[in-house]
Amino acid sequence: MAIPIEMPKLSDTMEEGVLSAWLADEGDEVSAGDVIAQVETDKATMDLEAFDDGVLLRKLIGEGDAVPIGELIAVLGEEGEDISDLIDDGSADGGGDAAEEEAPAADTDESAAADAGVEEPAGDGQLRERTPDPVPAGTDAEGRRIKASPLARRLAEEHGVDLSAVTGSGPEGRIVRADVEARIEEIEAGEVETEVPAEPEPDAQPEPPEPPVEEEPAYAMPDDIETDRPATAGDGAPYESEGISQMRKTISRRLAQSKFTAPHFYLTVDIDAARLMEVRAELNEKSQAQDGPKISPNDLITKASALALREHPFVNASYLAEEGEIRKHNRIHVGIAVAIDEGLITPVIRDADRKGLSQIAAETRELATRARNRELQPEEFEGATFTTSNLGMFGIEDFTAIINPPNAAILAIGEVRDTPVVEDGEVVPGKRMKMTLSCDHRVVDGAVGAQFLQTLRSFLEEPMNLLL
């Protein structure tokens, strides 16, 4: 089998080597360790040894030629072996000829011609026929850097806008936020048009598609960009169509990504909520006496989760495949899933472990209201390190939630229910609440998740611990 011999790296700073002398001829038998050539580096002239036994089948460069590290300079193998798969004929002949004939002038011409071929000179129609490569993000079709502000770049990425199709209005043609937003509107207007049925409904008045009215900047909230297509709720219509809003697209993309890439497993606990409800009633009496906010069981769970996360850093973590790391977050930001008309969003209580219950209650209330009014700023719903979702108010006893990436876990909270429980051998009325932790097994193992729930349970069953 033919063995390629390449220009070796003979010093730390060497980038190319000059083959100063061949010490073996084509057809010579060489053994591993034989010196077959001398190479002049940027520092010294050094011996080039063969690493294998065989016949020197072909020299590809002539004496005095300079080639970069790694370039094929010779081929070793068995007598008569076909080496055409290692070398293409033109260069092999050229190199071989040069080596044999020691005709540097001819060699120069040959390599110059080869270089020119690789360079794809402008105006070479043949080369232009190849299918164009996909344009890498941030460059235009000619590979030039597109000037765009970081914000514009982020917006474009979030909305799938191709920056090379956007005209920049900033200095030196820089693409800025306004340009990307205008492009998003154009695209959305375009989508509306293409979605209009080609054949109008019988009897339907032909209505021009209305462009979506977009007051808020699209980045401010995953927005409901409903198509304004007229509903076709006519008698007998087999279905009604609704465009997919940006928010639904976002939910679809993120949750599918989560469920497909994060191996979920689920841990459920049924906790004694009696003390929790008592303490909450006491707290509310005091809070209301001071005109403070009303504290909900959910606020207590937010606080308890945050404190439990402090003790279990692997639950307050992210598996970041691209970065090649598991990131344990030093700060604890609890996202709280809030249902809004178009879908859901998770406003974030930052540093929830360091906030008091009244502050958590007040912030949660305010963020939820603003979420419903679609007034949240990105920094108010981004950056959660853990998320909770509560469907107790709908009478849901327990459920499993999909992890909100890049979190490592999400807590699904069921209703507080009255139920008979056994205490000291007696059946008595009790209060229970089920909670299910969905864990990303890449970060959280079963025991870790269970220990977290144990800590969480201890806080909720003895809520005075929350105050310590």
Partner 1 sequence: MELQLREAIRAAMTEEMERDEDIFLIGEEVAEYNGAYKVSQGMLDQFGASRVVDTPISELGFAGLGIGAAMNGLRPIVEFMTFNFSFVAFDQVINNAPNMQYMSGGQFTVPIVFRGPNGSAGQLGATHSNSTEALYSNFPGLKVIAPSNPDDAKGLLKSAIRDDDPVVFLESEQMYGLKGDVSEDEDYLLPIGQARIAREGSDVTLIGHSKMYHVAMEAADHLSEQGYEAEVIDPRTIKPLDTETIVRSVMKTNRLVVVDESNPFSSVASEVTHQVQDRAFDYLDAPVARVTAPDTPAPYAPNLMDAYVPAADNVVDAAKRVLYVQ
Q: Does the protein bind partner 1 through residue 377 (CB under 8 A)?
A: yes
441 belongs to the catalytic site: yes
CA 273, 275, 277 angle in degrees (round to 5)? 70
Selected binder of partner 1 within 16, 63, 147, 154 (CB under 8 A): 154
Selected binder of partner 1 within 285, 323, 379, 424 (CB under 8 A): 379
Q: Which residues make Cβ contacts (< 8 Å) with residue 326, sequence separation at least 6?
A: 314, 317, 318, 319, 320, 442, 443
Q: Tell me what percent of the chain is helix, strand and coil, each rounded to the nearest 5.
A: 35, 25, 45
State the number of CA atoms in the 13 A half-sphere of 147 facing the CB.
Answer: 8
What's the 3-state SS for 225-263? Answer: CCCCCCCCCCCCCCCCCCCCCHHHHHHHHHHHHHHHHCC
* Shorter beta-carbon distance to partner 1: residue 35 or 220: 220
Q: How far is the CB of 33 from partner 1 (least distance, A)?
A: 54
Contact stretch for partner 1 (CB under 8 A) within 159-167, 168-176, 198-206, 312-320: 168-176
Q: How far is the CB of 220 from partner 1 (least distance, A)?
A: 10
CB 437 within 8 A of CB 270: no
Q: How far is the CB of 376 from partner 1 (least distance, A)?
A: 12
| Tokens (6 digits) for 324 | 């090649």
Q: How far is the CB of 219 from partner 1 (least distance, A)?
A: 10
CB 303 within 8 A of CB 283: no
- Binding to partner 1, residues 223-242 (CB under 8 A): none
CA 412, 418, 424 angle in degrees (round to 5)? 110
* Shorter beta-carbon distance to partner 1: residue 21 or 151: 151
Residue that is written with structure tokens 């040069």 in the block? 98
Going residue by residue from 178 to 207, which x/- string records binding to partner 1, judged by CB under 8 A? x-----------------------------
Contact stretch for partner 1 (CB under 8 A) within 66-74, 127-135, 278-286, 374-382: 374-382
Q: How far is the CB of 152 from partner 1 (least distance, A)?
A: 7
From CA 35, how far away is CA 56, in angstroms rounded?
Answer: 12
Selected binder of partner 1 within 132, 171, 236, 238 (CB under 8 A): 171
From CA 137, how far away is CA 421, in angstroms rounded?
Answer: 60
From CA 62, how far away is CA 135, in angstroms rounded?
Answer: 40
* Shorter beta-carbon distance to partner 1: residue 36 or 384: 384
From CA 10, how far away is CA 47, in angstroms rounded?
Answer: 9
* Shorter beta-carbon distance to partner 1: residue 235 or 379: 379
Contact stretch for partner 1 (CB under 8 A) within 106-114, 236-244, 373-381, 454-462: 373-381
CA 72, 73, 79 angle in degrees (round to 5)? 100
* Shorter beta-carbon distance to partner 1: residue 153 or 442: 153
Q: Does the protein bind partner 1 through residue 152 (CB under 8 A)?
A: yes
Catalytic residue among 264, 312, 329, 441: 441
Selected binder of partner 1 within 153, 294, 370, 441 (CB under 8 A): 153
Selected binder of partner 1 within 20, 149, 284, 298 (CB under 8 A): 149
From CA 148, how far away is CA 157, in angstroms rounded?
Answer: 12
| Tokens (6 digits) for 87 | 């070398």
* Shorter beta-carbon distance to partner 1: residue 30 or 175: 175
From CA 457, how far away is CA 95, in angstroms rounded?
Answer: 77
Mapped onto helix, strand or coil, the DSSP state of residue 409 is strand
Q: How far is the CB of 177 from partner 1 (least distance, A)?
A: 5
Contact stretch for partner 1 (CB under 8 A) within 170-178, 269-277, 309-317, 358-366: 170-178
List phi, psi (to 5°) of 389: -140, 130
Going residue by residue from 67 to 86, which x/- string records binding to partner 1, judged by CB under 8 A? --------------------
Q: How far is the CB of 169 from partner 1 (least distance, A)?
A: 7
Q: Write out the catalytic residue numbers.
A: 441
Residues forming contacts to partner 1 in the complex (CB under 8 A) are 149-154, 169-171, 176-178, 377-379
